[in-house]
Amino acid sequence: MEKAADYANQHGAARPVLSPEDVTVLDGVVPVKELQAEGFRIVPWTTNAPEKMHALIRMGVNGIITDRPDLLQAVLREVRALATPAERERLANFDVSAHRGGRGLRPENTLPSFESGLDQLSTALETDTGVTMDGVSLIWHEQFLDPKSCRRVDSAPYTLENRVFIKDISITEAQKTFICDKLHFGPEQKNDLALSPVSVAFAKKEGLISPYVPTYVAQLFRFVNFYVDHYTSGVGKGDADAKERAANAARVRFNLETKIVPQGITTDEGHENHTVKPQPFVDALCGAITQNGMESRAAVLSFDFRTLLLVAQHHPSIRTYYLTGEPAWLSSALVPEPLRAIAEGQ
């Protein structure tokens, strides 16, 4: 992190954030207080159990990435009710980051999941990105549209054997071909469109065949603005939570991960990468951010440090998050050689 901070400083970029796997914080592998003393924020992933949320908050982390922002908000209310004034001040800017929009409640990385994350007053929407054949920063976790979540509009069989990689499809084709509304993440995950009125209205405005078609970064920005308008001057302005929801959405941040496998690592699917190289990946994502004037509200996250260094170098106004974890394959990607060599693709 010190090397990453030095590199960011050389290019006039903000100090990066460390986003470690939560178990490495809970087990004491990540020295939270020492890192914070050096000016680093610590936002672990992905915590869904309230008892672990309590433990991480006691350890002083700056935020938590969670599939259940509703549970995290409930825990924060409990903690704040018993906190000292100093503790309440520390928690005032606590980062409630809705993982993949909050996939514990809606199918992940879809407009309804982001709507749910906003409904829970998340301070950040965390999501994943790939790059389509036509250079659009599409939102999805895998490098292919996953058959666990997605089905074909024409009802043709869609399996891992005939999966479509994001790199090999245009954004227009993706939104005409797939609906990603399958349920597979526990009993609280729902896809009832009655629960997602803003997504339904936005999909109609955008001419989408379903609120559950694959979406993309620029469209997410438009959706959040639409959400603000819905609760400020639209049909939702009379809702009891309208003002609070609109005010929160107007400042919500976007934590956008580059789904590119670190150099030298092989995935369970047996390939190193089936996406574009780091530079065009960064160009697509940061292009969407800058073209929509979201530099102050967006951050780029990655396990692949090449992309983060390119962001610091070419887009210093966009903050970076260094994702780290416990598994052996991930630990081996944590850069034994100098960061500059990785930035240069060596």
pLDDT digits (tens, 9 = 90+) for 35-75: 999 999 999 999 999 999 999 999 999 999 999 999 999 99
Give the residue carrying structure tokens 């869609």: 158
Among 90, 114, 107, 331, smallest CA distance to 221 is for 114
pLDDT of residue 266: 65
Determine whether 190 is exposed, middle or buried from the number of CB atoms within 10 Å of its CB (0-12, 13-18, 19+).
middle
pLDDT of residue 346: 36
pLDDT of residue 240: 98
Q: What would the mean pLDDT of 102-127 be, rounded to a whole number?
A: 98
Q: What would the mean pLDDT of 271-282 be, rounded to a whole number?
A: 92
Q: Assess contact for 255 and 124: CB atoms under 8 A.
A: yes
Among 29, 25, 27, 55, smallest CA distance to 42 is for 25
Task: Quote the CA–CA distance of 16 and 319 in Å, as a whole number.
Answer: 6
Q: Assess contact for 133 and 164: CB atoms under 8 A.
A: no
**What CATH number does the domain located at 2-144+216-343 have?**
3.20.20
Give the residue carrying structure tokens 């107007």: 250
**Tokens representing 173?**
């084709």
The 10s digit of each residue's pLDDT in 147-194 is 999 999 999 999 999 999 999 999 999 999 999 999 999 999 999 999
**Tokens representing 15?**
């100090």
- DSSP single-letter state for residue 344: T
Task: Quote the CA–CA distance of 275 and 263 in Å, as a whole number.
Answer: 13
Question: pTM score > 0.85 for this model?
Answer: yes
pLDDT of 269 higher than 90: no
> Could you tell me the CA-to-CA distances from 173 to 159, 179, 204, 210, 215 in Å, in that order?
18, 12, 18, 14, 12
pLDDT of residue 332: 47
Helix or strand holding residue 319 (H, E): strand 319-324
